Amino acid sequence: MTAADLPELDLATYPLVAAICFVAAILGGMSGFGSGLIIAALAAPLVGVKAVVPLISVVMMITNSSRIWVYGKDLDLRLAAVLLATSVPASILGSFIYVRLDAELISTLLGVVLVASPLLNAALRRRRFRAGPWAMAALGLAFGLLSSNIIGAGLLIPPILLGAGLVGPAVLATDAAVAVGTSVFRVITFGSLEALTVPIAVAGVLMGLCTIPGTWVAAWMMRRTSLRVHTVLIEAFVVLAGLGFIWRGLAAS
């Protein structure tokens, strides 16, 4: 995949992708569901399926950096270092694999992940994985490889951290640190492979910045509306979007 294979965004598109990310941050913030999944479902028709993972890497780098800034004093550096030691090189390797995948296969994989994500999210929340340092390193390796090829791999990290004994802000801060570390190297690798163009990168920065006020709005709305209703509606939207991606991938193959 080269820059020629990616769509060029005109100036009129940037306000639209910013609005998409603002809305996705609100929806994700109210449901506790992965904002990256929602952003991917809404942004793919604009930027193209092949650009989704590079774009989301930029967005999540900024989004998670803001979480580190808020919860940084609770960051568990030891656990973050263990996970990053294997997830970073694995994410670089995964980026090389991603650029060689067909757009139809990426669309199908993204669709499967979106359809399965509500069930995966619920299952992981009910389980706490007890793992030692070597098992943590192995899990980091799996996460790094998956995170460069599918949206939603971040769902794997919080249950791991809970199982290691972290709670509340410590989970958020450590999860964000791992996400930022892998995202930075994915962005560098995708850029070197011409899988991340300047227009897509600018859109990702803009979208990442728009998640910050979206999260604030979500917090305000959560105090005034039913969380369960929003969660059901959002999960239904994600599943329907996933089915659309699967149909698109299979129809084009």
Q: What is the pLDDT of residues 80-135, one digit of tens each?
A: 999 999 999 999 998 898 888 776 676 676 667 666 666 665 665 565 556 667 77
Tens digit of each residue's pLDDT (9 = 90 or more) over 160-194:
777 777 776 787 788 889 989 999 999 999 988 88
Q: Which of 95, 213, 78 is nearest to 153 (CA)?
A: 95
Angle in degrees, CA 131, 144, 163, rounded to 5? 20
The reply to whether the predicted model has a pTM over 0.75 is: no
The CA distance from 24 to 30, in Å, is 10
Q: Which residues contact 116 (CB under 8 A, 6 or more apart)?
A: 242
Query: What is the predicted pLDDT for the residue at 93?
Result: 92
How confident is the model over 205-222, as pLDDT tens digits? 888 888 888 777 766 765
Q: What is the pLDDT of residue 87?
A: 92
Measured in whole angstroms, the distance separating CA 249 from the mean position of its chain's CA atoms is: 20
Most confident of the ranges 22-26, 194-198, 224-228: 194-198
Question: What pLDDT is stored for residue 149 in this prediction?
Answer: 78
Answer yes or no: are the C-beta atoms of 160 and 141 closer than 8 Å: no
Q: How far is residue 69 from each of residues 63, 75, 161, 178, 252, measured CA to CA in Å?
A: 10, 10, 19, 14, 43
